[in-house]
Structure 1
Amino acid sequence: MEGFYVAYLTGRAGSSLLLFAIRGSDLIGVDAGGLKYDGKVSKTTEGWKCTVVYTIPAGSPELITGADAPSTDQRIPLEFSLPPDFSNGQIIGIATPLGPVNAKFQKLREW
């Protein structure tokens, strides 16, 4: 699980690219829109549980979900599950508090 990943994200209003790293149970990342991601990953019997907080900086462009960008920095908590083989190119739907996104994950390299 440890390593560097890319996630290709699409939503109702566009697409983006997320680069993130997992080391131990820690997850940290940033996307092309300037959002920052901090969280934890834990193994479950069905795959992986991700508990993430993403920060949307004030003045960001419209989000790929179609939600308006906030006028002040906003922290959004998000929990979702991933299958054991999540980085094999499959499309995974993720329900976020600001709207649904589809993600395709790829592992770039080991830690």
Structure 2
Amino acid sequence: MAEMKQFGLDVELGDDVAQGHYSNLAIISHSTSEFILDFATVLPGVQKARVKSRIILTPEHAKRLLRSLQENIVRYETNVGKIEIPKPQPASDGGPKMGQA
């Protein structure tokens, strides 16, 4: 079990949580009193994405998370390089197209 000191607070990281979960999809919803972040994994050829983790935050903490992510992305890009987000490709039905050989 790992322990970390952050902002004068002892943070305990259990072995099961330390392994983490891979996520390539985040679904964000909210109510007047909370933000809900669902982290899921989408795999090729699988029709259903399975939510691996759900985090519920107050609006204030959601905004703090946003700011912290922004700061960390700036730091990352300064050290490693710009993060490029590819533009989505138009969906193809896979069949032959009219006028194409």
TM-score, normalised by the number of residues in structure 1:
0.30
Larger radius of gyration: 2
Higher relative contact order (CA 8 A, sep 6+): 1
TM-score, normalised by the number of residues in structure 2:
0.33
Normalized per residue, the structure richer in helix is 2
